[in-house]
Amino acid sequence: MKPVMVAVGTRPEIIKMAPIIRALKRNRIPSVFVHCGQHYDYNMSQQFIEELELPAPDYAHQLKTCSQGAQTAQIIIRMERLLKKTDPATVLVEGDTNGVLATALAAVKCGIRVGHVEAGLRSFDLHMPEEHNRRLTDHISTYLFAPTRAAENNLKQENVWGDIYVTGNTVIDAVMQHMPIAQKKSRIMETVNFKKFILATAHRAENVDDLAVLKNFMQAFAEAPMPVVCPLHPRTRKRLRQNSLYRKISQFKNIQILPPLGYLDFLVLMKHCELIITDSGGVQEEATAPNIRKPVLVARLSTERPEAAEAGFSHVVGTSKEKIVNMIRNVLTRQRSLPQKSPYGEGNAADKIVEILKSKIPF
């Protein structure tokens, strides 16, 4: 009996694949859990696996820091070897990272079917490497698990050859499954200095590698009308230090800098904050979960999560300090009620995906 391979490489992938790993186990479907090595730092990978009480990966690669092209090539080579060794019935990948594209390419070259979880997302901004990755992966996948009708429409307009299924997004499954655990285990609120606060994150290369944009973000946080709690991604911390900004930012009374956080701590911060500012795609989705429901300012020029904006959860504000600060004031003063339901599903996406696999693959 051939297994299903579940391949991950970054924190968001681990989180969003966790419900699928559990659903496969509940259905007694053999599986192989693989970490392709894109995030090799312990805090960005193994910590999340342990926090979510998942089994350790059956196989885990470790890559050294290198260019995006070299990283993609290394993952293809390593995953091809592993695919020949394990011979899975299909390979499940999630999202839009280099590891996702590399694993999908390796599988196709080995004649193995690919299932793309969270297929059909589009920012329509080809400056983003993620846009290349997600488009290419969609066009070589056999099974495309679209989280929404809008994502399904994107796939149909591009005439992808694989089978399309609208399943909802497993990120909602993950939030609903893990919030009770987070509230029991996390002590992060004991470290927060403010009763009411804004939660802010930034990590995308096009933002934090651009000194002008990085300064805009930090100045906006400093001038915000409510204190800002800012867990720093390692990349962001590195850029702040390289540009002699870290010490200055740490001294602002309106900003509390936190180290990179585990998933459970971050869930609790999202639940307790008043507003979220982020350039993360996954956070835009998580904020719509019924047990979080927080407004989000998207600090980017575009988003591949238009459903959250259309539902009233998020607002694309760009990267200028003035626009960010003005929108913070607008959102905090308007106090608009948010929808009770998430546009990304009801928390049963993983079960739908596994049921589809059961109907397509002979186990």
Residues 136, 46: one domain? yes
For residue 257, list its beta bridge partners. 230
DSSP secondary structure string for all residues of 333-359: HH-PPPPSS-TT-SS-HHHHHHHHHHH
**Domain ranges, residue 212:** 180-334
- Cβ(75)–Cβ(98) under 8 Å? yes
Q: Where are the alpha helices (DSSP H) in the chain?
A: 11-26, 46-51, 68-86, 98-109, 129-140, 149-157, 170-185, 205-208, 211-223, 234-242, 246-250, 263-272, 281-286, 306-310, 321-334, 349-360
pLDDT, averaged in runs of 10, over the chain (363 residues): 94 92 96 83 68 89 80 93 97 96 97 98 88 97 97 98 98 95 95 97 91 94 96 92 90 93 93 96 94 96 92 95 96 88 96 96 75
Residues 287, 233: one domain? yes
Residues 271, 134: one domain? no
Residue 341 lies in a domain: no
List phi, psi (to 5°) of 28: 55, 40
Domain containing residue 94: CATH number: 3.40.50.2000
Residue 78 lies in a domain: yes
Q: How far apart are alpha carbons 152 and 163 in whole angstroms?
A: 10
Residue 302 lies in a domain: yes
- Cβ(37)–Cβ(63) under 8 Å? yes
Task: Determine whether 80 is exposed, middle or buried from the number of CB atoms within 10 Å of its CB (0-12, 13-18, 19+).
Answer: middle
For residue 14, list its beta bridge partners. none
Residues 94, 233: one domain? no
The pLDDT score that the predictor gives to residue 43 is 54
The pLDDT score that the predictor gives to residue 270 is 98
Q: How far apart are alpha carbons 161 and 153 in whole angstroms?
A: 14
Q: How far apart are alpha carbons 293 and 313 in whole angstroms?
A: 8
Residues 319, 222: one domain? yes
Q: How far apart are alpha carbons 354 and 183 in whole angstroms?
A: 28
Residue 342 lies in a domain: no
Q: How far apart are the first and last CA of the chain?
A: 6
Residues 119, 195: one domain? no
Residues 234, 320: one domain? yes
Residue 273 lies in a domain: yes
The pLDDT score that the predictor gives to residue 205 is 87
Residues 354, 296: one domain? no
The pLDDT score that the predictor gives to residue 40 is 56
| Domain total in the chain | 2
Residues 265, 353: one domain? no
Q: What residues are annotated to the active site?
A: 203
The pLDDT score that the predictor gives to residue 168 is 97
Count of CB atoms within 10 A of residue 29's CB? 17
Residue 175 lies in a domain: no
Q: How far apart are alpha carbons 191 and 272 in whole angstroms?
A: 13
Residue 214 lies in a domain: yes
Residues 189, 147: one domain? no
Residues 224, 276: one domain? yes
The pLDDT score that the predictor gives to residue 133 is 97
The pLDDT score that the predictor gives to residue 39 is 61
Strands 113-117 and 143-146: parallel
Residue 325 lies in a domain: yes
Residues 135, 252: one domain? no
**pTM of the predicted model as reported, rounded to 2 decimal places:** 0.89
